[in-house]
Structure formats: C-alpha cells, structure tokens
C-alpha cells in the first residue's frame, strides 16, 4: 500500500479543527508557529500558537 498524505490549513488554536484534522491519522506533523520580531503581537497570542 501507498502512503497517504493530507494537508489542512486552519487555526491551531481551534481545538475542534485540530481534532477533525487529526481524526484517523497515524502520524501528525504540524508546522504552526508565530514569531514577533517587532514586538507588535500580544504575548498571549504567540503563546496560544506556539505552546498551548
């Protein structure tokens, strides 16, 4: 059998989206991240994307 790959675009902070995107998956790789080089983004938003 071949390897099946699916890609999803959405908000990593949306737990319903993440749950649906991961349904039936054996392995999950995510590349969600946020940086703020100009200190213009709220810390809580960066934390929500990168950690939570």
More confident residue, 10 or 37: 10
Q: What's the residue count for the chain?
A: 52
In the predicted structure, residue 4 carries a pLDDT above the cut 80: yes
In the predicted structure, residue 17 carries a pLDDT above the cut 90: yes
At residue 33 the predicted structure's pLDDT band, cuts being 50, 70 and 90, is confident
At residue 37 the predicted structure's pLDDT band, cuts being 50, 70 and 90, is confident
Average the pLDDT over 6-28 and give the result: 92
Q: Each residue of 8-41: b (16+ CB within 10 Å) or e?
A: eeeebeeeeebeebeeeeeeeeeeeeeeeeeeee
Select from 38, 34, 39 the least CA-distant residue to 49. Answer: 34
Mean pLDDT score across all residues of the chain? 88
């Amino acid at each position: 059998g071949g390897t099946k790959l699916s890609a999803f675009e959405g908000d990593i902070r949306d737990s319903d989206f993440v749950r649906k995107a991961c349904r039936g998956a054996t392995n999950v790789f995510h590349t969600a991240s946020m940086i703020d080089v100009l200190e213009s983004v709220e810390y809580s938003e960066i934390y929500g994307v990168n950690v939570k």
